Amino acid sequence: MPNRPRKHDRKIEEAARKRYERLVRQWEDIRRLYLAGADLRHICRRLGISARTVYRYKDLEEPPPRRAYKRKKSVLDAYVPYLLGRWGEGCRNGKRLYREIRERGYQNSEETCARFIAQLRRAEARGKPPSSVPRARKGSVAGLSPTSKNVAALFVRRPEKLTEEQKEYLGRLCDADRALADAHRLTQDFAKMVRDLESEKLDGWIQEAEVCNAPALRNFAAGLKKDLAAVKAGLTETWSNGPVEGFVNKLKLLKRQGYGRAGFDLLRARMLAA
């Protein structure tokens, strides 16, 4: 008999269904007005939507397909089998279990592990099997099937901060695809060049990136050449415009707090007072 969906997943599925129903109604209104001869501006004003949305749906003869809900990967997915095994052996010490998975490469917070252990205790008190416990979803993990975002984070992370599992995964990834191997190597070289202010290596890096197998890095190198002097300055000087950007951000915050009604004199007074 198949497992019943978890309550959390049912709520997400119900919310997704309602959003899709609103989308279908919006598509029907756009098509009705468009086929009646209404122009773009009239449809936008009538429905209170953007022109981009109208362009997206006006020519669709059928409503857009609904995206299937997929449960997000958990930070504990790679370690749940071990935790469940230790739980089955009788270990109920949350801190001890946290230390054990840390030794096996877990790098996320203790709170996430503690929440999962607490769920195991509640399930046990209710007489439910440990497999009924939902995964903790906070954070991200480079587990068995990382997302593109996770892989990108691994590409820029310092080698000494990678776990053995992550190093092994990156090795398999680079062996399987030449473009990814070039992207990983050049990304690491560029990050080191930025950290150590090695501007003398920039020209050689750009030449190598222009002929690599990774299209994204070729485009990135072409963009660097458009403002090469500024990039070299950023890799040479120890100072930056960070403090200036901080003051600009503070000024924008004060300006927004005035809801667009604050004049120059008031903004000046508030900025100096802040």
pLDDT of residue 7: 61
pLDDT of residue 250: 85
Closest CA to 58 of 33, 92, 78, 88: 33
Q: 107 or 186: which carries more pLDDT confidence?
A: 186
pLDDT at 4 over 50: no
Q: How far is residue 47's CA from residue 144's CA, in Å, rounded to a whole number? A: 45
pLDDT of residue 223: 92
Please state at what angle helix 264-273 crosses helix 242-257, rounded to 10 degrees: 120
Q: What is the mean pLDDT of residues 121-140?
A: 63
Residue 11 — pLDDT band, cuts 50, 70, 90?
confident
> What sign does the CA torsion over 252, 257, 263, 269 have?
negative
pLDDT of residue 239: 78
Q: What is the pLDDT of residues 63-107, one digit of tens each?
A: 888 776 555 667 777 888 888 888 888 888 989 999 999 898 888
CB 154 within 8 A of CB 142: yes
pLDDT of residue 221: 92
Kindly report the pTM of this predicted structure.
0.43
Closest CA to 7 of 117, 138, 133, 131: 133
Residue 137 — pLDDT band, cuts 50, 70, 90?
very low
Calculated CA dihedral for residues 252, 254, 257, 258, nearest 10 degrees: -100
**Looking at 112-126, 133-147, 163-177, 196-210, which range is the least confident one?**
133-147
Q: Is 105 left (phi over 0), alpha (psi -120 to 50) or beta?
A: left
pLDDT of residue 237: 83
For residue 101, how many other CB atoms are within 10 A of its CB? 19
Q: What is the pLDDT of residues 13-61, one digit of tens each?
A: 777 888 888 888 989 999 999 888 888 888 888 888 888 888 888 888 8
Q: What is the pLDDT of residues 217-266, one digit of tens each?
A: 999 999 999 989 988 888 888 777 788 888 888 888 888 888 878 788 88
pLDDT at 2 over 50: no
